[in-house]
A and B are shown apart, each in its own frame.
Chain A
Amino acid sequence: MYGRMPRLEHSASQFLSQLSQQLRQENVSPEQVGALSKAVASLPQNARLTSVEVDSIAERMQLTAPHKATLIFALLLHRYPELKKELSDKNAMSNGLAGMLDELISKAQQNGGDAAANALQKFFLAFAGSRSAVEESGLELFKQSPSITVAGGTERVAVQVNGSMVDLLEPELRTSLALTNTNSRYNIDFGSFEAGSEGGWVFTPFKQGETQGAAVALGRIGVQALEHLSNGLSAYIGTRSNGQQHVVETEAMEIAKDIGVAGTLLAEVMRLKKQKNDELGAERSKREGELRTALGDYRVARIGAETVNALVHALFPEVKK
């Protein structure tokens, strides 16, 4: 059984509230930096805010660049407490980076990039040339309507999607179930599922007004499916929710039915997306190792822009030129 998962959404919301109270002036004062760091410190230690979420926070709060930079530094400092010395003073950090870049230029003045470029040819010929494009998301997998059958038992709730059994209550789905239709007509934040400490499933409805960062645009899910999802879960939440946590055991199957097609697709999309990202990360790490081997002694070198571009496009085929 899975352990209880941290509720980043709730903590982030709390954090935003504190942050908005503390950031009132145009300039970031040392006091504000301290206050901001304190607000960030209220986040769970293992909470993660991605660049997308930081952007979202900055946009919603209309943070100026210095505020946003301070927010990022505070987050980094919170995430890497062992790096306090390096990160607590952003000037020290930038000075350190500047000094390092300076040294790299000095090195470049001594060594041309020809040797490195030649070494890269081996990599391109051996690996990158045969690399095929990797699609970014799992959404394209649902160009055709999947065949879905809901099945389940007391310990597992799963659905059959195109012949494969998929656990409906995936970790991602437990953490957040938020759907946003592309036409913005449906912006549905329901709640989260997670394994209860004493078995069963705990469903916690999101409080009104809280915005979930994990909203997923599922353009290919039909309006009817969204309505079904909305009606089903709204009815469920309406009858069961008073803002408290509910242990859901045998009801899991009922929830699965209520979630229906849209929830199933969301779970499958997220699962495939994660699987693809994991595979992609492993593949990129492998190629990075091969690249270092190919480069030998020229692992740190200045080379031509065309070679860097070719390298990037070989390793990241999804990136536009």
Chain B
Amino acid sequence: MIAPADALLALEALIGSKRQAFRKPLKIAVAIAEHGTVVFDTKREAVAQRGWDDQADLSIFANAQTMSDLLLGELDPEAPTEAHLLLWSGEEEDWRALIGALSGGRSMVDLRASGTNKDVRRKRR
């Protein structure tokens, strides 16, 4: 398992290195229940700063296990185990901005939505 402090470092590295991909500046507040809180601000030179911001665009509250699994791609949102805890808030548009920046392209939601629209258009024809 990735330790909470290291998970936050990894997030800092991921968001920091993808900062140019954020079309809109985002403030992302992350809390790891057993560890602490950090705010990532894509428009700040030092992306990560300890603390919390009630006005953040996205807020994530998770435990250490979930954050580790999230980073390693081992969390199944459809079937979380009893060890998992992940609560979050924010606008879907901002989530998509984060996903888009992290993945360097369009998110699966967008692709699915796009595919759905095509299906609808086909059906209308």
Interface residues of A (CB under 8 A from B): 50-51, 54-55, 65-66, 68-70, 72-73, 75-76, 79-80, 83, 86-87, 90-91, 93-108, 113, 116, 281, 284-285, 287-288, 291-292, 295, 299-305, 307-309, 311-313, 315-316, 319-321
Contact = CB atoms under 8 A, between A and B. Distances in A.
Nearest to B82: A292
A95 B45 CA distance: 23
A287 B34 CA distance: 9
Interface string B52-63: 101010011101
Given A80-B2, A288-B63, A116 B9 contact: no
Interface residues of B, number: 63
B73 A97 contact: yes
Nearest to B45: A65
A303 B108 contact: no
A105 B95 contact: yes
B72 to A, nearest CB: 5
B75 A100 contact: yes
A315 to B, nearest CB: 6
B5 A50 contact: yes
A312 B61 contact: yes
Contacts of B19: 65
Given A302-B88, A305-B89, A316-B31, A104 B77 contact: yes
A103 B54 CA distance: 25
Interface of B: 2, 5-6, 8-10, 12-14, 16-19, 29, 31, 33-37, 45-48, 51-52, 54, 56, 59-61, 63, 66, 70-73, 75-78, 80, 82, 84-90, 92, 95-96, 98-100, 102-104, 107-109, 112
Contacts of A301: 86-87
Question: Chain A interface secondary structure, helix, strand, loop or mixed?
Answer: helix
Contacts of A113: 89
A104 B47 contact: no
B80 A102 contact: no
A107 B2 CA distance: 25
Given A107-B78, A308-B61, A319-B52, A51 B12 contact: yes
B10 A93 contact: yes
A124 to B, nearest CB: 13
Contacts of A309: 52, 54, 59
Contacts of A68: 13, 16
A95 B77 contact: no
Contacts of B61: 308, 311-312
Contact of A54 (B9, B31, B36, B82): B9
Nearest to B92: A105
A292 B86 CA distance: 10
Given A94-B102, A97-B102, A319-B52, A83 B13 contact: no
